[in-house]
Amino acid sequence: MKRVRVLVSGNVQGVFFRAECAKRARAAGAGGFVRNLPDGRVEAVFEGPGEAVDRLVAWCREGPLWAGVESVEASEQEPAGERDFRIA
């Protein structure tokens, strides 16, 4: 099990980033959450099998079609046992 927190900067709010992120995380069997931050970034936490989490973090570097991702900060965390993925 692996858990990674990502902070995504750029044009990432109001472009279906959270919805697409949740869809992909659920399909990958990952737990965690995604949410908009007041400063315009998106925060996501993915927890699950290492390969699935790595793919989700890689997807965050691209985002959905309408997004303009400028940077992604990723940091590994201690797994917390999250199984469901939610939009917070």
- 11, 35, 36, 55: which one is catalytic? 36
Number of helices (H), then strands (E), belonging to the chain: the values are 2, 5
Active-site residue, 11 included: no
- 3, 18, 24, 41: which one is catalytic? 18
Q: Which among 51, 62, 57, 86 has a CA at the least distance from the CA of 74?
A: 57
Give the distance, in angstroms, between the CA of residue 55 and the centroid of all CA atoms in the same chain. 10
Active-site residue, 26 included: no
Contact 61, 7 (CB under 8 A): no
Residues annotated as catalytic (active site), given as ranges: 18, 36
